[in-house]
Amino acid sequence: MNNVTQPTSSGSPLTVARLLWKPGIIAGVIGGMMLAIVMMITMGVEGSGFLSPLNLGLASFVYTIAPPVSMFPVLMRAMGIKLPGPVMSQLAPVLRSGHISSAMAYHLGSMLIALHVPAAKVQMIGALMTGHATNTTVTSILSSLSPSARNAVMSAMPVTAGHLVAGAMLHLVMSAIFGVAIFGVIALATWYRLPGMRSALGIIGAGILGGAVIYVVNVYIVLPGINPMMGLVPPLAFFIAHLVFGMVVGLGAAVTFRSKKVNSILPNAR
């Protein structure tokens, strides 16, 4: 790609910031949409549900994502637990009603212990059945399953409009914020004449690096403490999706910095 046209005059960092926040939001939103598409395709192909990134992962910032009582048979099979036929017959009306009493939950817990299911796992199942589970509880159970069993449970989770809307809105807002942040860092690097930051390739590369940094900060610092459900996403695909996000934002920044309006107020290159 050709180098960005050299500026002829300079403005102020504040002036540059005013010109960049809108295109930064737009680039961030488009990049966020691409990130979501990559994750939806990946998780759909692996069998955990095309809508799981929004319906489960991102929605868990707002909701507790727990399998409903009706999924009890699916969950038990995934965990390798087989209850006797008479017990399942007794459970059928309860599962259809979507509500399980504390007494029934206690009875089930006793049966599971008799089947040599670990006490910690029985406690987590009890929390699920009685509606007291947290996202940490659900994550612990899903993390203990084999990949195929985990995918089966995640794909069987009900898709709700509330989850999808909350997940999509939250994702786009975060994407817009990260887009503006990357634009701001690129603007600073360009303002202080960092080598390579006057070329389109250099700016796009900086955007990709920004996507990688966001991935590392989120996965290893932020998300484990506030949203354990996000730890269930495929890590390699999640990393690649962040690189795609950074590339889209960097491309948007490269186009923006090529505009005469922005380029003309940057300090003259040496």
| Residues 6 or more apart whose Cβ sits within 8 Å of residue 258 | 4, 5, 200
Mean local confidence (pLDDT), 92-102: 74
pLDDT at 1: 47
Write the pLDDT tens digit of every residue in 51-93: 999 999 999 999 999 888 888 888 888 988 887 777 777 777 7
CA distance 270 to 257: 17
37 vs 92, residue with greater confidence: 37
Tell me the whole-structure pTM to 2 decimals.
0.85
CA distance 204 to 29: 16
263 vs 136, residue with greater confidence: 136
Mean local confidence (pLDDT), 118-124: 84
Q: Tokens 């900086």 sit at which residue?
A: 206
Mean pLDDT, the chain, rounded, equals 87
Write the pLDDT tens digit of every residue in 196-250: 887 899 999 999 999 999 999 999 999 988 999 998 999 999 999 999 999 999 9
Contact 38, 240 (CB under 8 A): yes
Contact 168, 196 (CB under 8 A): no
- Coil, helix or strand at residue 199: strand
Mean local confidence (pLDDT), 159-170: 96
pLDDT at 11: 60
